[in-house]
Chain A
């Protein structure tokens, strides 16, 4: 088994193993599973920091249904590696933070581990249908985790979460099937950049497998290869250079259209890497007075927008966050919201670059609205957790602006923002959980002067609030400044993205306002409730959750270079791919 499949399978195995252990050891067993997960994530990410290329590493491919081109394909690039490392860290933190779960621990921890498996699957899988399976695989564990271990209105919150997410992914499933069905059974011919051919040749599972047996590949490719010969006479009889499990990449030398592009045969499959090569093909398939690319793009955007969530589709989030137990809130904010942005990076942008460029203004506008509107709503929240939930929606808006900028800086910024928000929001939710465990309520107005009985707690909370508000030197600042800089550099949408980015700078002020106002009301002034005079400060387990995250925030804040080194190649490649496509795909 290769390392990436192991990363996905490990939590599943852990979840199964839990059932053979006594109930009281469930948390320890989950921790034993989460720690190697974090180690593997760190390993993959640190490999990405020293690897210069944007291509996928640790590739593995196991055919599932050959005739459909369905396979278990995994691979990792800088973007995925960063997210897998984040998943590992959050897995450990979430297991540690689940101390308060008293009932049915085996079920709880196996569902929690299933969640991490599905999240890692989304990040690593390079097959559209398997991607969808992992995407949906998160629904039922989340539904049960909120529905069984949640707060008073957990039933409503769990149902709303499932309903909105499922409804969002219905068009995505149809789009996935349509993308597959739009490739002729024998494959289709497309021109790609030389670099991409090289990248694929390097990453093929069976490189040069059929070099000495061209007839086999010919027989498999059938009519499409005949078409290839017709399209590029003179290649007849030349050996096929390489063959994937699903089909072939045709004779690159002979079929060269010119110096920089190559004609290749892409077989029908769910391969995500092929979907990226086929961006021009999707544009050529007419559908409903438009083309497949446009319609599929918006189908994907809808599914991802529910997860991010974009304002208008965000209504499930406050309920889910407020009702979920602390650890689940952490997972929700730190991982689940990231899946949406990651979907943009992995599917919507690479596969439909021209459509994405056209839609840039709309996406950036959605981001700006999220930043300002959700920030505004957060200002008037009475419940600590709801406030943090809305601040999540607000901060995810920066990711959208970074994506819409279509520059390497902007895309890097979006990914850094995903990491820093993942860490920062996890920190805030954990801190809210700490006070909820002691006071059994979360009303801001019900607290006051907590800094006196709980000085360490107050310090950490202030730190987390400042990090979230984007104080320079802490994590939140790096992502936001990169996004803004990237957007200002960009000409996307005839400068509209630039204007929107500048407008959304106001969000920094708003987030400082609601976070600091909240900190003042909760921690300073006289102690309003006498019983709170004697509240115990954070204990060791809580510190074990909080300190690593806080350290990470500082690290990313003062020395973001390693993180950026890991992300940059993939981000530059994505931006280059989109700009090349927008320029007409010409050499």
Chain B
């Protein structure tokens, strides 16, 4: 291995990923339309190879800075593993989706997914405002494509447009904040910025920091940057909605942890923790309560994603104590499988019924017993009911809050833990409404079959529908993780070391 390769070593995953994008673009150009699924296979294998390299090369101890623009430390490695796993699963889910195949855009879809994964890797590893902004845009642009790619009705166009408009606003705010920070300190490097900010009065730096955080808040769909999420998730292809709810969040949280570590001076840390607690609680309650009023399952899941982002943000209520970070990492891992599982299963049901209304899903169990079971597992896990992974995720977070909350004068953290769990109970009602719809009520006729066949509803309903192998694979992986991720908890203390 020559010297350049040595220098590239820490950034090998990003480099390979970029090569994967280019090769997929070329493949897409030369592949005839009926073989588009092979492109997905290639992309999935490419992502898995990169994931393998990350896993083999990871050490997690110490910060090996690859360049002034990138930090390759335990946090980056964790984020890389999460992002690549999610990307691989999303590509598989896309390959299995009937509506995406029917639209003829599977190639573009897969390329966008790869691009989004690459952008997320850059975003997560950024240690410089420049790379952070490039990463943010590299996540956003493929997202816009994904949101509007499969245009079945006007909601898809609306979704794409809303996503672009909101994204542009958030990027603008973010860029403005970053330029102010640069103006104050004359550097873009996060570590140097942090040192320089120590001497600047709190009142001066609060504004720029908040503005710069807008981009992250938008990717996390935190209140008040959450309004786009339900409309986008509803209009976008269901698989894409699942991706939006997972991959950008993984990257944004990784960057948030790094930025907080390097950038926020101790003088502001207390205020930041309080701010995170407030924003997190409001986001959590808005997500949980608004989900109750929704009729479209994708909107319910959108509000659920908002609620979960709020819950995860409460990990920073302990800042500058880093105890919450490991809990957050485990939460994100569990959340990845829960949400991708839910959206993939929902995509199958939606393709079958033509709509994702609660009423239209009634009795879906008869036709899709295993899909319904996988969706139920994901939803019950999202609701945080033991012994599924979603419960342990919440439990880890609550544990950190309570341990600190028992110290004198920190009782508000106990109240925060109570609010977190009460929010989860409210959200559970929304999830259980979906479960209830799946298993009870008369079976609505599947849109695609009712017209084609002249059979009675019972016979149509009782035939177990076939699902593509790729979808089955995604659902098996996600369901297994939902059930068994709790078994990794004995390794949790090791995760703590990784998170610094």
Chain A interface (Cβ < 8 Å from any Cβ of B): 64-67, 132-133, 136-137, 139-140, 143-144, 147-148, 154-155, 158-159, 162-163, 166-167, 170-171, 173-174, 177-178, 180-182, 285-288, 292
Of all A-B residue pairs in the complex, the 10 with the closest CB atoms, nearest first, are A170-B421, A181-B403, A177-B402, A133-B386, A166-B425, A136-B386, A65-B490, A178-B402, A167-B425, A177-B399
Instruction: Please determine whether A147 and B436 come into contact, CB atoms closer than 8 angstroms.
Output: yes
Contact of B191 with A by CB under 8 A: no
> Whole-angstrom distance between the alpha carbons of A171 and B415 in the complex?
10
Known: A133-B387, A136-B385, A173-B398. A147 touches B417 (CB 8 A): no
Tell me the minimal C-beta distance from B373 to chain A in angstroms. Answer: 9
Instruction: Please determine whether A159 and B421 come into contact, CB atoms closer than 8 angstroms.
Output: no
| Residue of chain A at shortest CB distance from B417 | A174
Mostly helix, strand, loop or mixed at chain B's interface?
A: helix
Instruction: Please determine whether A143 and B432 come into contact, CB atoms closer than 8 angstroms.
Output: yes
Instruction: Please determine whether B406 and A173 come into contact, CB atoms closer than 8 angstroms.
Output: no
Contact of B493 with A by CB under 8 A: yes
Instruction: Please determine whether A170 and B402 come into contact, CB atoms closer than 8 angstroms.
Output: no
Instruction: Please determine whether A139 and B385 come into contact, CB atoms closer than 8 angstroms.
Output: yes
Which among B386, B418, B439 has the highest number of chain A CB atoms within 10 Å?
A: B386
Instruction: Please determine whether B406 and A174 come into contact, CB atoms closer than 8 angstroms.
Output: no
Tell me the minimal C-beta distance from A211 to chain B in angstroms. Answer: 28
| Residue of chain A at shortest CB distance from B490 | A65
> Whole-angstrom distance between the alpha carbons of A65 and B380 in the complex?
24
> Whole-angstrom distance between the alpha carbons of A354 and B317 in the complex?
34
Contacts of B490 in A (CB 8 A): 64-67
| Residue of chain B at shortest CB distance from A155 | B436
Contact of B425 among A67, A155, A170 (CB under 8 A): A170
Instruction: Please determine whether B406 and A182 come into contact, CB atoms closer than 8 angstroms.
Output: yes
Extra inter-chain contacts (7) besides given A64-B490, A166-B385, CB under 8 Å: A66-B490, A67-B493, A147-B440, A174-B402, A177-B395, A177-B399, A177-B403
Tell me the minimal C-beta distance from B250 to chain A in angstroms. Answer: 25
> Whole-angstrom distance between the alpha carbons of A136 and B392 in the complex?
13
> Whole-angstrom distance between the alpha carbons of A144 and B490 in the complex?
31
Tell me the minimal C-beta distance from A161 to chain B in angstroms. Answer: 11
Contact of B442 with A by CB under 8 A: no
Instruction: Please determine whether B385 and A181 come into contact, CB atoms closer than 8 angstroms.
Output: no
Tell me the minimal C-beta distance from A293 to chain B in angstroms. Answer: 13
Instruction: Please determine whether A170 and B418 come into contact, CB atoms closer than 8 angstroms.
Output: yes
Contacts of B398 in A (CB 8 A): 173-174, 177
| Residue of chain A at shortest CB distance from B403 | A181
Instruction: Please determine whether A140 and B385 come into contact, CB atoms closer than 8 angstroms.
Output: yes
Contact of B22 with A by CB under 8 A: no
Known: A65-B490, A170-B421. A162 touches B440 (CB 8 A): no
Instruction: Please determine whether A159 and B489 come into contact, CB atoms closer than 8 angstroms.
Output: no
Tell me the minimal C-beta distance from B464 to chain A in angstroms. Answer: 14
Contact of B422 with A by CB under 8 A: yes
Contacts of A180 in B (CB 8 A): 399
Contact of B32 with A by CB under 8 A: no
Instruction: Please determine whether B402 and A181 come into contact, CB atoms closer than 8 angstroms.
Output: yes
Known: A136-B386, A155-B440, A174-B417. A167 touches B422 (CB 8 A): yes
Contacts of A159 in B (CB 8 A): 429, 432-433, 436
Tell me the minimal C-beta distance from A517 to chain B in angstroms. Answer: 36
Q: Mark B421-451, 1 if CB is under 8 A from A, else 0.
A: 1101100110011011001100000000000
Contacts of B399 in A (CB 8 A): 177, 180-181
Contacts of B402 in A (CB 8 A): 174, 177-178, 181
| Residue of chain A at shortest CB distance from B398 | A177
Contacts of A174 in B (CB 8 A): 398, 402, 414, 417-418, 421
